[in-house]
Structure 1
């Protein structure tokens, strides 16, 4: 059975790289050896594998790679550390215009009556 791997590398400068491959050992070797001088990781070696997940369906692997690439470094580190509650907290919208910060109709009506 063929597998696909989603992985996160921590670079020597602390930045994170997220990628996917169908041969994790080969791909990590390419990163470590600096096979591509134009790659994100080339000047950031040595690298440390901090997360990997295996998929059977390439479409799921691609989907999650694209999703995780958009995450903050804090969310990626929480994923790598298995801190799923932290991921949830970091995913919450903190914009004061978000609906969860807006008063409900009931709260407005109650405030008006109390005024």
Structure 2
């Protein structure tokens, strides 16, 4: 049985730094970003703790391909993606924190 996956974007509170990632457990991964679980990671260093965009895929391979496509794009394209999904760039943590993706 294949497991689905999610692509997500987190940002710093001042919205100056964006990070795109992929996971099969969005709640767990965002909790790790927020708690700075990996203290030497890019997201901990640049305080990327706000979930501002995510998209689910039925297959993790699709999510990985989309993550690569987004990462290769410009910041302007990432901003448009976020704004189209979350106009106010609010932290979506409260929306997903009690949802398991498996």
In the superposition, the TM-score normalised over structure 1's length comes to: 0.65
Deviations 1:51-87 (A, max 9, x none): 100011111101010110111111101011128xxxx
Q: Which has the larger radius of gyration?
A: 1
Deviations 1:6-63 (A, max 9, x none): 0001123511000010000000000000011221111222621111000111111010
Alignment RMSD (CA, Å)? 1.8
Distance 1:46 1:65, change over 3 A: closer
Which residues of 2 match residues 1-115 of structure 1 at below 5 A? 2-12=3-13, 14-45=16-47, 47-82=49-84
Name which structure has the greater RCO, CA cutoff 8 Å, separation 6+.
2
* Structure with greater helix share of residues: 1
Distance 1:58 1:11, change over 3 A: same
Gaps of 5+ in 2: 86-102
Gaps of 5+ in 1: 84-115
Contact 2:6 / 2:55 at 8 angstroms: preserved in 1? yes
In the superposition, the TM-score normalised over structure 2's length comes to: 0.73
